[in-house]
Each structure stands twice: as structure tokens, then as C-alpha cells.
Structure 1
Amino acid sequence: MKAFQPKVLALGLAAAFCAGAAFAQVNVTVDASKPGAVIDKDVYGQFAEHLGTGIYGGLWVGPDSKIPNTKGWRNDVVGALKDMHVPLVRWPGGCFADEYHWREGIGPRNKRPVKVNTNWGGVPENNAVGTHEFFDLVEMLGADAYVNGNLGTGTPQEAAEWIEYMTSEGKSTLAELRAKNGHPAPFKVAYFAIGNESWGCGGNMRPEYYADLYRQWNTFLKAPQHLRPKMIASGGTGDDTAWTDILSRDLKGRTDGISFHYYTLPTGKWEVKGAATGFPESEWFSTMSQTLRMEDFVRKNVAILDKNDPEKKIGFDVDEWGTWYDVEKGTNPGFLFQRNTIRDAVVAALNFNIFHAHADRVRMTNIAQMVNVLQAMIITDNEKMLLTPTYHAFKMYVPFQGATSLPVSLSNNTTYGSNGQGVPGISASAAKAKDGKTYVALVNTNPHEATDVVLNVAGQNVGAVRGQLLTADAMDAHNTFEHKDAVKPVPFSATASGGKLTIKVPAKSVLVVAVEG
């Protein structure tokens, strides 16, 4: 992860309006007769970097800890993540990846070298969590592994030997070393990235130079065919589409995906990003506006991929995204700890809906990050743990993992904003899930006004909907260790009347429902 400066989005409207104005009904139509691309489960991937207490303390406490654990991983956190159906975890970074040397993280933990984490807080890194510990975690979660290789300070030989260590089935010295360290069978590596943010903390490279390095490295990263990970190239960020253009041309046939990073900052400025709580409504609006830029970024990069790769062999993988606020006062600024509110849940759901709309290209994403860092799913404090509103949003959207996307059209949509600027009031997505049901997700960006949505599903009778609703009274409502359930989903249902089903979507809410006949 590294900061970049996005441009502020301006959405011009024909006329100014008030956020509290009354609106007409919004029509949402789902065409169940025209199934689209499958929404890959990995769109709901997570990210665990050696950063602050994102791993140490938040996830890993060590096997000798008084906090209940399995192989050093906290039972409470792992259990909650399993309930959320985490499909994929990216590790060890982030910027940390390009200074990580895998051999320092294997063997007896008391003999591993202690390094300085120069990217995040300058704190000691004792390498207690290495390759074997990471795979223990993903195996406990039932998730797949996304390993980020060290291009910045590493070598092709080092990366090639790491791949061999993880995947070799034979009697090589590295395979036998893996067995000696406790894992005779090969690890399953779903994705392997060559570098991270090579435009910034990963080396400050030009895309042309990175493409040459990628071609060289990829030549030597070998694994048994049935265990070979999908190879991910380090792509661009924000408005910069040059990385996608150059890499999709130069690396065609050599990469399975090109990464992309974008963080939502309320102010759009890295110097003063905006507060996680206690913020004014202007920053609620600017957060919605900034996060919806993701649609434009995805659309522009996908258009380039469609031109350079019409066979759709290369995915557009948003492997870092989420909100980024000013750190909580009194905490280490290098630990990136921030509170998580209903605003974050709305942001997450808006991005889910964008990713679904581009499911043919967006095949994997990783929110930053899983525990205690940035837009976290879980927050811990020693033995205490709580679930955030973002956690609940992810869990509500579980039916969309592996579901078949369905076209959605909105008419007479509302607009939230003022002074000639605005964002769509309602965002929607729909899919046919693996359980055979049609699911519809609705998000209301307006923090004050509920909106009536008339739902139509072409090709299917809509008698009722049932699901879960996530909302709160205050714009910065969040869970605390004293009030862990201040923001949590509640059951929701609505029944058709007179052949029409109208759903009242509360202000600042996320709603996911299954359609019943």
C-alpha cells in the first residue's frame, strides 16, 4: 500500500436540491432471463499484511498465549472469519511484501531473525508468522492463498525457490525442507503476485521497466502444472491506465491478472484525509462520491483490456481497496488504525455492486484489511474482539459468492447531494445464487431519507422478499467493546400488494434480500 493523489470527482446536475427533499419511487428491474458472468467468490477476498496489529495480536497470539488459539491463531477471530466465509487471503503485503524474504520465516520460530518493519511504524518484525503459519491460517479458514512475492528487494532465484518450496511434489531439497518444517504435502497457492505497487513503494518503476522484469521473473517461476498459481502482475492506481494498457499488451499470455489499487479518502487529500468518526455530512457525501469513482476506474481499465485481450484471459484484480481515514488519535500512525462505521458498510456494498457489474473481468479483489487495519472486518484489544459494520456487509453478501450476475436497470433514481453535486441515491445488484434463489442488494446513500423501491424481476413472479437490513441512526454509528451490537443486521421482509412489491429502503442502509414467488 502506498498513498497516491486522486482527483476530486465533480458530478454536475441540472439543478441543485436538498438532501432532505421528498422523492418519487425508484424502479429497479432485474432481468432473470439474461444471466451474465459468474461472480467469482474471490471478489470477496481479504488482505492481511504485516502492519500494526493486523496480524500480531489481532490474528496471531502464538501457541503459548492465554488467549484461546489453535496453532497460534486466535480462535475467536478465526471463528468469526469462517462465519463470514472468507474465500481468499492475500499475504504478506502490501509494501511489506517487497522487503520480505521468505527464508527468514521458516524453521524454529526462536531462531528466526528479527528485522525492522521500515514501512509500518519501524517496529521489530520477529518473523513468527511465515509461510507455514500463513497456510495454517488459510487452511483453518477454508480459504485460498494469495501470496505476494518480493520483487523490490528480492531476486528471481529467491522467488523461484519459494514457489518450489511451496508447491514441489518431488524429493528436492526444498520439498524435503518443507516436510522437515512440518508440511510434507505441497501447499496450494491460488495466486502469486510478482511485486506490489511497483509504481511506488515496490520500486518506483515505469510500467515498461516492470513489464521486462515480470517477463524475466515469470520465466523462472515453475510449479507442477496442477499446482501452478495464477500469476498476477502489479498494475496501476487511480486515473493511471498506462499500467493496464502496457502490461496487457506486453504480458499477454504470461499473466492471469493485472492488479489495481484505489482507496476512498473523504477529502481526496492524503495530508488530511478526514475523520473516521465525528465527521460532518459533507464528508459523508464526499466519501460516497469518492468511492463511486471506482466505477469509472474499472470501466476505463476494462475497456483497455477488452481492446488488448478480447479473449478475456486477463482479469482486472482490485487487490487493495477500502476507506482510508486519519488514524485514531493516540495510536501509532504507522499502524493505520481507524474506527469502522455504518458509512464503511455502505462504501463496501457500493463497491460490491460495482464489482458485480464487471464480473467478467473483476475476478478477485482484496479489501484492506482483515483485522485492526484500515477498513477492518474485526477489531481486537488484547482478549477482546468485536465485529464491524463492514464485517456484517461482507456476511450479508455471501450469497453472491459464485452466483450468476443478472442485469439490473434503475429508472427514476433519486440523487443525494447539494450545491449542484450529487451521487445516485440507490445502488442495486442482483444474481442467481448457487441455492437457486434470486438475490437483490440495495444500497441507500442518503443519510437522512428512506426511499421507496419498486422491484420487478422479469421472468419471475415476485410475491415477497426476505433477507437482512443493516442501518443505524447516526452517520458515524459504530460498535464498541461496551456496545458490540450497536450496528448489526436485522431481519427484513416485504410482501407484494396489488401485483406490485414496494420496498422501503431506510436511509444510510444496506439491504440484501432473496426473492420469493
Structure 2
Amino acid sequence: MNQIQRGVLALCMLASGGAFAADAVSLTIDAARPGAVINKDVYGQFAEHLGTGIYEGLWVGPKSKIPNTKGWRNDVVGALKNIHVPLVRWPGGCFADEYHWRDGIGAREKRPVNVNTNWGGVDESNAVGTHEFFDLVEMLGADAYVNGNLGTGSAQEMSEWIEYMTSDSKSTLANMRRKNGHDKPFKVAYFAVGNEAWGCGGNMSPQYYSDVYKQVETFLRAPKQYRPKIIASGGNDNDVTWSEVLSKELKKQTDGISFHYYTIPTGKWEVKGASTGFQENEWISTLANTLRMESHIQKNSAAMDKNDPEKKLGLFVDEWGTWYDVEKGTNPGFLFQQNTLRDAVVAALNFNIFHAHAERVRMTNIAQMVNVLQSMIITDKDRMLLTPTYYTYQMYVPFQGATSLPVTLKDNPDYSAGGFKVPEISASAARGTDGKLYLALVNTNPNKDADVALNIPGQAIKAVKGSVLTSSAMDTHNTFQSPNAIKPAPFSAAAGADGKLTVRIPAKAVIVVAVE
């Protein structure tokens, strides 16, 4: 155990309840007024054919010396199972709109080799196709989110792919699937018609896309018990036009509208900022920019409410996360970046936002699962390490399928630096499927601890117990030389003699506890 870990562990073990501190933030959980269920798919993942996100990071092939099952790395799959991955989106992303599903079926040695024009101009072997993808999600115990090709594809191509995956008939396509090794239909939870139609998916207008979507959706036929939920490709950032138009035009033909938003420290795509070695001004700018997710969701939800007041449509944030300048010496088209404590805090802040809007936000997919952008896992040939973001997902597992509870924060100061300010404390609470009450807390201030006084009207709080993720440096990250530089430590606190409980949250920390 290194010096950083010993210091964090000592701090956490000393955390204790007691009388309300004079400057404590007051946190009240209204356990008697349950809200919407937090859909498990809010913790969805994204695996695109991009860099080593699929090949090497996840897929090594059945003949590899790296231990694998059906070509998928045992170490990576095992780690992902430990965070209860509920959903995986595939094959993209921008890659989806140049992906032709017939290239990825049949004998792998006979599949065509294409050029991945979106990501690095490298060869795409098509070794991972439909059957391989479903092998992965079945191993993970996850649901499948398949993204269809609208950009270079057609209504016929997507219709036939749906038939290939879901038909239980004796049709030629269904029998082709059986011949390729899968007798029963695949379980496709979601199917999207294109991706980022406003940009890499075709540079379309919302109205034009909605007309094309209606045509395509008409032909996406599947047996009732195997029919996936159909997703329309929506907007990004501050543009709510897509949500307005699509919720009006497609209300009866879609289950939800996607939305994309990436967190960039500088707010500029040209020079985004470094993933490590940053100063406090980029710590806070990153947090301030990620908290814009709240207003984006509010604005898009308000636009959808005009046409869908019953909230039958979901707002699916199927791409989100941090995006930094790529690591020096790596292929710029592979989008590889390091993952630090800052990313863990970003993830937790977004989770708390998603929970607060659980009625409309029913699925999100962080970009991406392995080796790309804000990944859970980093690999190097046969080596694997877990990132701080991975540990945040692990800590938040109890919120999957939990019932959200209203949280009120009072006397919550702002943390200010570099011309930015953000609330010091972020919180979320829910009643888990196991009946326990769970609380998540984030201290955004990297310089000082914070006291939070807990209150549940009508209930006495005896103690809290869970884990904390923090470190002495803002950019602490795991490497292959120090794979355990940052990981969760035990955390607990008990009520004082006065029956009140105050939790001391370390600086720049994420805490998830069960409340007793």
C-alpha cells in the first residue's frame, strides 16, 4: 500500500458522526416521497470500432495467447461483469454509419477488410460482427443496443439486419443466422436509426431526418416478443431543435431520442486540454462544463414536454464523458487519454444529474468502455488496469434500478477558482432494490474537506457505511507501474451522542454509502 492510499484510508476510517458542525452543509432526504425509478440502463456502456476499444482492448481472437472466451478477453470481461454492465452500445458512433452488417457475418477469414475512415484510417477486419457482439453481451449479462447505418446504408439494409437478428421464422435470413451458429433470435433491446445525423451521420436537418426516419422505421419489422425499442438520433449541446422536431414528428414511431454531450476542459475542440498534469483552473473548468449537462437535459426535456407531456419518450444520453487532447505519441485517431480522479468526479456528478431526471433520462452510454476517451479499463497487450471512472461505476452499482429520493441541500457554498464556480457538494439518494437507502456525495473542492449534516424527516440515522474514492493529487491515476495508485477505501460514520450525524467528505472525493 503506497503513501497516498495509507493517508486516504486513515482519513476514511477516522470519519465519524457527531454534532452538527457550525458550517456544515445541510442535506435532507425525503424518504417518504419516492420519485422515478433509476433505469439500470443509465449505467450503460459504449464500445465503438475505434482505436483499441474493440480490437486488443476487448477482442483478441480465439487463437490468442491472452486468455479469452470466444475471442473476448477473460480479464476485461470479468472486470466489466464486476460493475454489472447493464447495456452495451455497438458498433458506433460515427463508425455505425459506414458499417454494413453483412461484412461481419460468416467465416471470419472470409470477411472483407474495410478502411475505418472515421478513426485513424486503419484496416477494419470485421472480425467482430453481429454474432461476436452478442457473445460479448451474453457473457456480461447485459442488454444489446445496436446502432443502424443510416448514413451509407438504406431502409432495406436495416430492415434485413433486424430480420436476421430477431426473426423466429424459416426465412432465408433467419436460416442464415442459424447456419452462422445462433438458432434462436438475438435479444436486441434497442436499435437506433443512424447516429449524429446532424454531423458525421449525414449532415441532415431535423426535419429531413425525421422524414427519413419515418420511412426506415416503417420497415423495421420484428416478432412482437423480439422487437427492440427504436431510437431516433437527436441533437447535442445547446441545440434543442432536434428534440422539438423529433418529439413532434416521431412521437408515435419512436421510443426515445438520443442526445450527445462531451465535457472539454477548455470548451474548445481545437485545444481541449491535457488529461494529466493540469492545474486547478482546468480542474474547475472541467467540472463547470460537465455540470452544463443539467441545463442541457432540462432544456431538451422541456422541448419534449410540449409534444410528450406524458413522458412516453425517453431522452437517451447515449454519448457523454470527458474528451481531452490525445496522449502524445499515440494515433490521434484512436482517442486514447489517461483517466484520473478528475474523471471519477465528472462521472459521479453526471450520475447525480441523471438520477434527478430519471423520469425522462432512461439510458446513457459513457464514451467509451475500453482504451477510448473516458474508459473503464486500459489495456496494453496482455496487461489490464482499472481506471478511477471504473471505480465510480462500481461504487454506484446500488443505484441501478433504485427508486430516486428527493434531496435538498442548504448552506451549500460555491467552490470558486479561475473565474469559475460550482456548488461544493453534489448529492443523490435512492432506495435500492435491496430495500436499503443509498446516498452519493461529491466534494468538488480539491483543497478542503466538507461537513454534511444528514437528516431524514421521521427517521433516526444511526450510521452510514460504504466507500470513498479520493487522493492527494487532482490527477492521480493508475498506470501499469502503479496499478493501484487510486482505488476506493472503506468509509463509515456513526451518529453522535445527540443522535445527529455529520459526514466529513475529504477534498476532491466521491462517496457512496448505505444509510442505516
When normalised by structure 1's length, the TM-score is: 0.95
Paired with 2:346 and 2:479, the residues of 1 have a C-alpha distance of 20
User: What is the one-letter code of the residue matched to 2:326?
Assistant: V
User: Deviation of residue 23 (structure 1)?
Assistant: 9.0
| 1:242-391 equivalences in 2 (<5 Å) | 242-391=241-390
Paired with 1:459 and 1:294, the residues of 2 have a C-alpha distance of 33
Q: Is the aligned partner of 1:29 residue 2:32?
A: no
Structure 1 residue aligned with 2:501: 501
Please say if residues 454 and 503 of structure 1, whose CA atoms lie closer than 8 Å, have aligned partners that are also in contact.
yes
User: Deviation of residue 419 (structure 1)?
Assistant: 6.1
User: Deviation of residue 305 (structure 1)?
Assistant: 1.5
State the secondary structure of the residue aligned to 1:171.
coil
Paired with 2:64 and 2:510, the residues of 1 have a C-alpha distance of 38
1:289-318 CA-to-partner distances (Å, cap 9, x unmatched) read 000000000011111112210111100000
User: What is the one-letter code of the residue matched to 2:150?
Assistant: L
Specify whether residues 302 and 23 from structure 1 end up closer, same or farther in structure 2 by C-alpha distance, changes over 3 A only. farther
1:409-449 CA-to-partner distances (Å, cap 9, x unmatched) read 00000211136631000000000000000000000111111
User: What is the one-letter code of the residue matched to 2:72?
Assistant: W
Please say if residues 23 and 451 of structure 1, whose CA atoms lie closer than 8 Å, have aligned partners that are also in contact.
no
User: Deviation of residue 483 (structure 1)?
Assistant: 1.0
Structure 2 residue aligned with 1:56: 55
Paired with 2:62 and 2:419, the residues of 1 have a C-alpha distance of 57
Please say if residues 324 and 373 of structure 2, whose CA atoms lie closer than 8 Å, have aligned partners that are also in contact.
yes
Paired with 1:513 and 1:461, the residues of 2 have a C-alpha distance of 16
Structure 1 residue aligned with 2:427: 428
State the secondary structure of the residue aligned to 2:416.
strand
Please say if residues 31 and 459 of structure 1, whose CA atoms lie closer than 8 Å, have aligned partners that are also in contact.
no
Please say if residues 39 and 405 of structure 1, whose CA atoms lie closer than 8 Å, have aligned partners that are also in contact.
yes
User: What is the one-letter code of the residue matched to 1:435?
Assistant: D
Structure 2 residue aligned with 1:186: 185
| 1:409-488 equivalences in 2 (<5 Å) | 409-418=408-417, 421-488=420-487
Paired with 2:226 and 2:458, the residues of 1 have a C-alpha distance of 42
Structure 2 residue aligned with 1:100: 99
Paired with 1:126 and 1:190, the residues of 2 have a C-alpha distance of 26
User: What is the one-letter code of the residue matched to 2:386?
Assistant: L
1:248-267 CA-to-partner distances (Å, cap 9, x unmatched) read 00001111010000000000
Paired with 1:491 and 1:146, the residues of 2 have a C-alpha distance of 35
| 1:141-152 equivalences in 2 (<5 Å) | 141-152=140-151
Structure 1 residue aligned with 2:13: none
Paired with 1:79 and 1:412, the residues of 2 have a C-alpha distance of 43
Please say if residues 281 and 418 of structure 2, whose CA atoms lie closer than 8 Å, have aligned partners that are also in contact.
no
RMSD: 0.9
Paired with 1:152 and 1:484, the residues of 2 have a C-alpha distance of 41
Please say if residues 99 and 154 of structure 1, whose CA atoms lie closer than 8 Å, have aligned partners that are also in contact.
yes
User: What is the one-letter code of the residue matched to 1:74?
Assistant: R
Structure 2 residue aligned with 1:512: 512
Paired with 1:248 and 1:146, the residues of 2 have a C-alpha distance of 21
State the secondary structure of the residue aligned to 2:391.
helix
Structure 1 residue aligned with 2:134: 135
Tell me which moved more, 349-358 or 297-306: 297-306
Paired with 2:110 and 2:227, the residues of 1 have a C-alpha distance of 31
Paired with 1:302 and 1:113, the residues of 2 have a C-alpha distance of 43
Paired with 1:459 and 1:111, the residues of 2 have a C-alpha distance of 67
User: What is the one-letter code of the residue matched to 2:310?
Assistant: E
User: What is the one-letter code of the residue matched to 1:504?
Assistant: R
User: Deviation of residue 482 (structure 1)?
Assistant: 1.2
1:67-93 CA-to-partner distances (Å, cap 9, x unmatched) read 000000000000000001000000000
Tell me which moved more, 297-306 or 31-40: 297-306
Please say if residues 158 and 220 of structure 2, whose CA atoms lie closer than 8 Å, have aligned partners that are also in contact.
yes
User: What is the one-letter code of the residue matched to 1:85?
Assistant: H
User: What is the one-letter code of the residue matched to 1:412?
Assistant: D
Structure 2 residue aligned with 1:13: none
Q: Which runs of 5+ in 2 are unaligned?
A: 1-20
Specify whether residues 419 and 135 from structure 1 end up closer, same or farther in structure 2 by C-alpha distance, changes over 3 A only. closer
Runs of 4+ in 1 over 3 A off after TM superposition: 418-421
Paired with 2:91 and 2:417, the residues of 1 have a C-alpha distance of 42
Please say if residues 167 and 186 of structure 1, whose CA atoms lie closer than 8 Å, have aligned partners that are also in contact.
yes
State the secondary structure of the residue aligned to 2:479.
coil
User: Deviation of residue 459 (structure 1)?
Assistant: 3.4
Specify whether residues 268 and 222 from structure 1 end up closer, same or farther in structure 2 by C-alpha distance, changes over 3 A only. same
Structure 1 residue aligned with 2:12: none
State the secondary structure of the residue aligned to 1:353.
helix
Please say if residues 285 and 420 of structure 2, whose CA atoms lie closer than 8 Å, have aligned partners that are also in contact.
no
Paired with 2:196 and 2:352, the residues of 1 have a C-alpha distance of 25
User: How many residue pairs get matched?
Assistant: 495
Paired with 1:306 and 1:510, the residues of 2 have a C-alpha distance of 33
When normalised by structure 2's length, the TM-score is: 0.95
1:144-164 CA-to-partner distances (Å, cap 9, x unmatched) read 000000000001000000000
Please say if residues 284 and 420 of structure 2, whose CA atoms lie closer than 8 Å, have aligned partners that are also in contact.
no
1:292-351 CA-to-partner distances (Å, cap 9, x unmatched) read 000000011111112210111100000000000000000000000000000000000000
Specify whether residues 420 and 386 from structure 1 end up closer, same or farther in structure 2 by C-alpha distance, changes over 3 A only. closer
Please say if residues 210 and 246 of structure 2, whose CA atoms lie closer than 8 Å, have aligned partners that are also in contact.
yes
Percent identity over the alignment is: 74
State the secondary structure of the residue aligned to 1:458.
coil
Structure 1 residue aligned with 2:68: 69
